[in-house]
Amino acid sequence: MENKKELRYLSGVQPSGDLHLGNYFGAIKQHVENQHGDNSLYFIANYHSLTTINDPDKLRQLTFDVALTYLSCGLDPNKSILFKQSDVPELTVLTWLLMNVTPISMLEKAVSYKDKITKGLSANVGLFNYPILMASDILAYDSNIVPVGKDQIQHIEMTRDIAQKFNNQFGEVFIVPDYKLSKSPYVPGIDGEKMSKSYGNSIGIFDEGKELKKKVMSIVTSSEPLEAPKDPEKCNVFALYKLMVSPEKISEMEENYRKGGYGFGHAKKELLLEIENYFAPYREKRKELLKNPDYVKDVLNECGKKAKAIAENTLNRALTAVGIN
Ligand code: ADP
Ligand code: TRP
């Protein structure tokens, strides 16, 4: 029989706002598809969110909501480890060790930090060091594969650099990880820009009814008349539609666009229906889980212990390597 060691998957999502279709198709969906027991770890990056959120009740609420979202969307705590980043305080010690092999010039190139500085805003050290904490997240669990959206590639490349620098200096302590892009690494928002919690352009995973309809109907499209043949590849409605339907339905809508006499209003109605159907079971599961919030908290606590045990081991290796154990 095969004696190959199974690869370990790890990824995290910040609890910084309501999760949306970009988070689902860009991240959560593939996390749910990659569940291999102790070799799949998914966590809620609440330490990272401190770089943007300073309301403690809000942070607690959003942290719970991310767990609820994962469980509603099919993450099975018997098949994956779903935990809170803060249940593993070893990460902060590891971050300190990694800081000592990380060049300032590398962090100065980080997009989120650079953006802030370019806009004339002052950044704090938390934001500056964000990529090192993220490297700790990944390295602490001996992760091989980090499934993420496109916007996170730079962070994984930095993690690889940091791991290699540490290994070169202190011996082979860390596994150097790779990223894996989802099939939908870029999901547009209702304004056509990248869908993001912070751009006010998102459609929430659990949106329904009037709110959902309003958002779908306001998706930005070109102003071609109803009769005109249209290019589906240039349309935000089509980009969202094709995320959740069969290849047959995709071809059908493509044809409708190209032959003309098919308006964006038609396409939006079809999209609305598909979003409602696709997420209906997840909305139901969420309502069910909400009746028993202690279950969600128990899952986090139990999984937190498992994650902590793995990280303790790695941290010990790293401490020994630098001469602190
Ligand atoms: P946001 O931009 O809304 O704050 P995050 O940065 O918290 O989202 O991203 C969480 C995960 O979801 C990451 O893996 C990220 O790559 C993915 N993701 C976020 N927005 C999108 C999008 N519009 N398209 C594809 N993936 C996305
Ligand atoms: N920076 C990621 C985001 O904003 C969240 C994150 C933190 C993460 N630590 C991670 C993702 C480790 C993958 C692996 O989406």
Q: Is 149 in the pocket of ligand 1 (CB under 6 A)?
A: yes
Residues 98-125, mean pLDDT to the nearest whole number: 92
Shared domain for 14 and 81, answered yes or no, is yes
197 belongs to the catalytic site: yes
Residue appearing with tokens 């870029």: 186
- The percentage of the chain sitting over the pLDDT mark of 90, rounded to a whole number, equals 89
116 belongs to the catalytic site: yes
Q: Is 101 in the pocket of ligand 2 (CB under 6 A)?
A: no
Shared domain for 208 and 318, answered yes or no, is no
pLDDT tens for residues 37-80?
999 999 999 999 999 899 999 999 999 999 999 999 999 999 99
The catalytic residue among 197, 215, 230, 308 is 197
Shared domain for 163 and 106, answered yes or no, is yes
For residue 196, the ligand closest to its alpha carbon is 1
Shared domain for 145 and 29, answered yes or no, is yes
Shared domain for 35 and 118, answered yes or no, is yes
Residue 4 domain flag: no
Shared domain for 108 and 36, answered yes or no, is yes
**pLDDT the model gives residue 4:** 65
Residue 3 domain flag: no
Strand partners of residue 40: 9
For residue 70, the ligand closest to its alpha carbon is 1
**pLDDT the model gives residue 248:** 98
Residue 89 domain flag: yes
CATH of the domain at 258: 1.10.240.10
CATH of the domain at 108: 3.40.50.620
The crossing angle, in degrees rounded to 10, of helices 90-99 and 153-170 is 70
39 vs 236: CA distance, rounded Å: 36
Shared domain for 239 and 300, answered yes or no, is no
Q: Is 203 in the pocket of ligand 2 (CB under 6 A)?
A: no
Starting at the edge strand that comes first in sequence, how are the strands of the sheet with 9-13 ordered?
Answer: 81-84, 40-44, 9-13, 145-148, 178-181
Residue 311 domain flag: yes
pLDDT band at 1 (very low <50, low <70, confident <90, very high): very low
pLDDT beyond 70 at 3: no
Residues 153-181, mean pLDDT to the nearest whole number: 97
What residue numbers bound the domain in which 60 lies?
Answer: 9-186+293-322
**pLDDT the model gives residue 8:** 97
Question: How far does the centroid of ligand 1 lie from the alpha carbon of residue 149, in Å?
Answer: 6
**pLDDT the model gives residue 256:** 97
Q: Is 138 in the pocket of ligand 2 (CB under 6 A)?
A: yes
87 CA to centre of own chain: 19
Residue 1 domain flag: no
pLDDT band at 183 (very low <50, low <70, confident <90, very high): confident
Asked whether the beta carbons of 44 and 83 are under 8 A apart, the reply is yes
Shared domain for 257 and 122, answered yes or no, is no
Shared domain for 176 and 98, answered yes or no, is yes
pLDDT tens for residues 269-304?
999 999 999 999 999 999 999 999 999 999 999 999
Asked whether the beta carbons of 187 and 21 are under 8 A apart, the reply is yes
Shared domain for 159 and 229, answered yes or no, is no
Domain count along the chain: 2
pLDDT band at 184 (very low <50, low <70, confident <90, very high): confident
pLDDT tens for residues 204-220?
999 999 999 999 999 99
Name every residue whose Cβ is closer than 8 Å to that of residue 49 and which is 6 or more positions away in sequence.
14, 15, 16, 59, 62, 63
Shared domain for 55 and 168, answered yes or no, is yes
SS3 of 12, please?
strand
Q: Is 134 in the pocket of ligand 2 (CB under 6 A)?
A: yes
Shared domain for 165 and 182, answered yes or no, is yes
